[in-house]
Chain A
Amino acid sequence: NSKVIQTPRYLVKGQGQKAKMRCIPEKGHPVVFWYQQNKNNEFKFLINFQNQEVLQQIDMTEKRFSAECPSNSPCSLEIQSSEAGDSALYLCASSLRLGSYAEQFFGPGTRLTVL
């Protein structure tokens, strides 16, 4: 069973508000991913890290989303100004190594609702 911890499990924000969620990867996993699963069950990759370094991020992430994985602290994903379309399940996953053949272990997710 995965030991990726995500907090909070539920987050409710008004439009324009900041929304911040955290992720503690499995111990010893240097690679972290963030995905968004919307109400249509579509997954979207947002960003990934190896240790503290950003490897890849999509354009959407670069504009209103920010993320970091500081040393010895939880990783975080923050939406600067929430929009209704950001309502989704945000999944954090960690992996022992880079490369998609390496299993990604998922947390339970943070469900964001933007009113």
Chain B
Amino acid sequence: GDSVTQTEGPVTVSESESLIINCTYSATSIAYPNLFWYVRYPGEGLQLLLKVITAGQKGSSRGFEATYNKETTSFHLQKASVQESDSAVYYCALGDRGSNAKLTFGKGTKLSVKS
């Protein structure tokens, strides 16, 4: 089946440092999956951070970026300078392009940013 593997947490970084959370996927039943990063802030529900539906393209939001790399089947999340408010759990996910719209999630990476 399809699967997503991401950096095991927890990850702790200091404010203004750079961040990378690795995500690789295996899409055995989907030729060209759509790729997503979702985030869960403390006390809140899952929300979409960014998505990319075309291989080779980059998505960005709130200072975060991720590039859809079909060759390495990766979709790493990066930020040049993190803030304390970025502390959250980040989930990488893939979805089918077809009518089967379910998402396959990774296990999440808990990020703590120290001030």
Residues of A within 8 A of B (CB): 1-2, 4, 31, 33, 35, 40-43, 45, 48, 55-56, 91, 93, 95, 98-109
Q: Is the CB of B102 within 8 A of A56?
A: yes
How many Å lie between the Cα of A113 and that of B30 in the bound state? Answer: 34
- Known A-B contacts A43-B104, A43-B105; the reply to A103 vs B46 at CB < 8 A is no
Q: Does B65 contact A (CB under 8 A)?
A: no
Q: Is the CB of A4 within 8 A of B45?
A: yes
Q: Does B31 contact A (CB under 8 A)?
A: no
Residues of A within 8 A of B45 (CB): 2, 4, 91, 106-109
Residues of B within 8 A of A (CB): 33-34, 38, 44-48, 51, 53, 91, 94-105, 107-108
Residues of A within 8 A of B101 (CB): 31, 33, 48, 55, 95, 98-100, 102, 104
Known: A55-B100, A98-B99. 20 other contacts (CB 8 A): A1-B47, A2-B45, A40-B107, A41-B108, A43-B91, A43-B104, A43-B105, A48-B101, A95-B101, A99-B97, A99-B101, A100-B96, A100-B103, A101-B34, A101-B53, A104-B48, A104-B101, A106-B45, A107-B45, A108-B44
Residues of B within 8 A of A104 (CB): 48, 101, 103
